[in-house]
């Protein structure tokens, strides 16, 4: 039997250590093709390029340890997946994996995540997809401790499939050199960012702002991704790109909207 074809992407850029680690993990499972941004694209969400040109460059970032094929893209993470599926791959991939992100994409962070948006773009196109994030923002984070969990989740996804319209959001706790305790299926915790803008003035007297803020957890449940991560478990949240609030339809039908 032929190996599964795995499309690998991210939002931290083609040279990011998290991406290089994910490539190595996936090479032990299938044939790997990489399409990733040529520069960091964190926080881009599901942005796509519609008012500029896109460029693709085939390259060999790592001749010995790299993928079957690697491409850098001038666009966003979602652009990378679109171009990979429509222009670069010679057949439909069996799976798309995005990451491993440098930092958490749990809870409300999933909304802003370029990592997860790349995976969701693949899901929209009918490709089973998973976004992986390590809750360690260090460029030199130890990604090796996540290998067993990442590979286990990928193998199970290839074996059993992922429900149609669902994309998995996987977050891995920061555990130093220790492996996570295990894997838990969770729901997304309710949370928000209390945002602040640090206003400054440059040497020319022009004002500018840095976005800062504090993460505010609004959920005390023990079945959430945030709780699992505090207990040193890998969290797996099934997410969907159908944003309809189905439970609210009946409420809105009670509004006097119709003549």
pLDDT reading at 64 higher than 70: no
On whether 12 is known to bind a ligand per the annotation, the reply is: yes
Phi, psi dihedrals of residue 186, rounded to the nearest 5°: -135, 170
Domain count, the chain: 1
Q: What is the mean pLDDT of residues 193-206?
A: 93
Does pTM surpass 0.85?
Answer: yes
Encode pLDDT of 214-241 as tens digits: 899 999 999 999 999 999 999 999 999 9
Please list the alpha-helical segments (H only) found in the chain.
17-27, 77-83, 114-124, 147-160, 225-230, 249-253
Nearest one of 13, 3, 39, 8 to 23, comparing CA atoms? 8
Tokens 């040529």, residue? 38
pLDDT recorded at residue 258: 79
Residue 79's domain comprises 5-188+221-253
* Mean pLDDT value across residues 106-128: 96
- String of DSSP letters for 222-242: SSBHHHHHHTT-EEEEEEES-
Domain assignment of residue 202, yes or no:
no
Q: Answer yes or no: is 44 within a domain.
A: yes
Task: Name every residue whose Cβ is closer than 8 Å to that of residue 2 and which is 6 or more positions away in sequence.
Answer: none
Q: Is 235 among the domain residues?
A: yes
Could you give the count of Cα atoms lying within 13 Å of 129 in the half-sphere of its Cβ? 31
Q: How confident is the model at residue 58 (pLDDT cuts 50, 70, 90)?
A: very high
Q: Is 208 domain-assigned?
A: no
In a domain, 204, yes or no: no
Which pLDDT belongs to residue 65? 62
Domain-located, residue 128:
yes
- Report whether 42 belongs to an annotated binding site: yes
Mean pLDDT across the chain: 94
Q: Is the dihedral of CA 170, 176, 177, 179 positive or negative?
A: negative
The answer to whether 73 and 83 are in contact (CB under 8 A) is yes
Instruction: Give Cα separations from 212 to 112, 194, 195, 209, 257 (angstroms).
Output: 14, 9, 6, 9, 41
Q: Is residue 210 part of a domain?
A: no
Q: Which of 5-9, 41-45, 55-59, 91-95 has the lowest mean pLDDT?
A: 41-45
How confident is the model over 205-216, as a mean pLDDT? 91
| Neighbour-count burial of 45, counting CB atoms closer than 10 A to its CB (0-12 exposed, 13-18 middle, 19+ buried) | middle
Between 212 and 132, residue with greater pLDDT: 132
Quote the pLDDT of residue 61: 63
Spatial CB neighbours of 23, under 8 Å, sequence gap ≥ 6: 8, 32, 34, 62, 65, 66, 67
Domain-located, residue 195: no
CATH number at residue 95: 3.40.1210.10
> Given pLDDT bands bounded at 50, 70 and 90, which one contains residue 59?
confident
- What's the half-sphere exposure (Cβ side, CA atoms, 13 Å) at 250? 1
**51 carries a ligand binding annotation:** no
pLDDT at 9: 98
């Amino acid at each position: 039997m032929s190996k599964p074809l795995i499309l690998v992407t991210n939002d931290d850029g083609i040279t990011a250590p998290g991406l290089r680690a994910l490539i190595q993990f996936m090479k032990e499972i299938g044939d790997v093709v990489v399409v990733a941004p040529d520069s960091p694209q964190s926080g881009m969400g599901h942005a796509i390029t519609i008012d500029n040109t896109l460029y693709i460059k085939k390259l060999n970032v790592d001749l010995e340890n790299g993928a079957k094929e690697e491409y850098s893209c001038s666009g966003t993470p979602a652009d990378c997946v679109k171009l990979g599926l429509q222009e670069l791959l010679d057949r439909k991939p069996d799976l798309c994996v995005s990451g491993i992100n440098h930092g958490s994409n749990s809870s409300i962070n999933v909304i802003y995540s370029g990592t997860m948006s790349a995976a969701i773009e693949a899901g929209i196109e009918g490709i089973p997809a998973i976004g992986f994030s390590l809750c360690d923002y260090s460029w030199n984070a130890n990604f090796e401790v996540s290998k067993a969990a990442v590979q286990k989740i990928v193998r199970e996804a290839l074996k059993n499939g992922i429900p149609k319209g669902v994309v998995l959001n996987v977050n891995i706790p920061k555990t130093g050199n220790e492996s996570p305790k295990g894997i838990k299926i969770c729901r997304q915790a309710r949370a928000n960012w209390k945002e602040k803008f640090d206003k400054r003035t440059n040497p020319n007297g022009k004002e500018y702002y840095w976005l800062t803020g504090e993460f505010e957890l609004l959920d005390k449940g023990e079945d959430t991704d945030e709780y699992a991560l505090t207990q040193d478990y890998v969290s797996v949240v099934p997410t969907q790109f159908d944003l309809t609030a189905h439970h609210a339809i009946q409420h809105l039908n009670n509004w006097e909207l119709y003549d």
